[in-house]
């Protein structure tokens, strides 16, 4: 999406949501000055927080990453969420850097998609209770909760939100066995939603469920017929098993 398209989308969502839920928008990039300015524009539209991905391609060191996020936080009054996804950005934000960033008043959370539970545990140990760590991988939601994480910023929840919510409620209320069973049941669908580069699979599935979200733009491409068939088979198997209470154990 272009800069103007993103701002138009943010403005539309803020207007439609009308305060019923929090609106967090992605404003990150690999140009610090532009990312900070874009975050400020988004904040001025009334969003509740901005989320900035780690600077991609440039591969800055940890000092550069810290300075990047500090520059963004300095430009906005709204909360800032760090997004660590080294599989796409090609740079990992170390636990030490995230802990240091957490001391900036309006840097309040991290979406952690490194897949490294040891790193996440170190972040949780080193930050205060007001700083939240969210899983950035659906398949690690329950493990992240078990080490003290606060939830997930989810792809799968676009299509199985009630089931994800119930799993997290089960865990938070001490029903760990039930939560684990739901987690295992959802894993095949979680994996299938990333069998092709995201967001192509989730958009294809939403369209099949009559939630019209349009297609993807190049360089992303639509699923092949075979990929879509596989995704639908996994989704329908999940819904069948979920409704019948099958957990395999």
Binding positions for pyruvate: 153
Strand partners, 64: none
Q: Which DSSP string do the residues of 7-20 spell out, in sequence order?
A: HHHHHHHHHHHTTS
Q: Measured between alpha carbons, how far is 29 from 52 in angstroms, rounded to an integer?
A: 7
Catalytic residue of the set 66, 69, 100, 111: 111
Smallest CA-to-CA distance from 238 within 223, 226, 248 is with 248
Q: Which strands sit side by side in the sheet containing 107-112, from one edge to the other?
A: 24-26, 49-53, 80-84, 107-112, 132-135, 151-152
DSSP-derived 3-state class of residue 132: strand
- Known active-site residue 171: no
* Residue 107 structure tokens: 């840097």
Catalytic residue of the set 69, 83, 171, 235: 83
Q: Which DSSP string do the residues of 183-199 spell out, in sequence order?
A: HHHHHHHHHHTTSSSTT
- Show the CA angle centred on residue 5, arms to residues 8 and 160, nearest 5°: 80
- Known active-site residue 111: yes
Q: Measured between alpha carbons, how far is 32 from 34 in angstroms, rounded to an integer?
A: 6
Residues that are catalytic: 83, 111
């Amino acid at each position: 999406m272009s800069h103007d398209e993103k701002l138009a989308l943010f403005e539309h969502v803020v207007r439609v949501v009308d305060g019923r839920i929090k609106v967090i928008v992605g404003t990150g990039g690999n140009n610090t000055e532009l990312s900070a300015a874009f975050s400020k524009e988004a904040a001025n539209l009334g969003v509740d927080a901005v989320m900035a991905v780690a600077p991609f391609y440039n591969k800055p060191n940890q000092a550069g990453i810290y300075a990047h996020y500090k520059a963004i936080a300095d430009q906005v009054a709204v909360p800032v969420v760090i997004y660590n996804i080294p599989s796409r950005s090609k740079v990992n934000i170390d636990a030490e850097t995230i802990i240091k960033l957490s001391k900036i008043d309006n840097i309040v959370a991290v979406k952690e998609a490194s897949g490294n539970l040891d790193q996440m545990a170190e972040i949780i140990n080193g930050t205060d209770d007001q700083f939240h760590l969210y899983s950035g991988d659906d398949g690690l939601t329950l493990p992240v909760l078990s080490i003290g994480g606060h939830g997930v910023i989810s792809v799968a929840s676009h299509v199985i939100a009630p089931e994800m919510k119930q799993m997290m409620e089960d865990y938070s209320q001490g029903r760990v066995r039930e939560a684990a069973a739901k987690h295992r049941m959802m894993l095949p669908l979680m994996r299938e939603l990333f069998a092709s580069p995201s967001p192509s699979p989730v958009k294809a599935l939403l369209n099949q469920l009559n939630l019209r979200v349009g297609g993807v733009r190049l360089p992303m491409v639509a699923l092949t017929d075979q990929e879509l068939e596989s995704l639908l088979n996994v989704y329908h198997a999940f819904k069948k098993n979920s409704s019948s209470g099958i957990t395999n154990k």
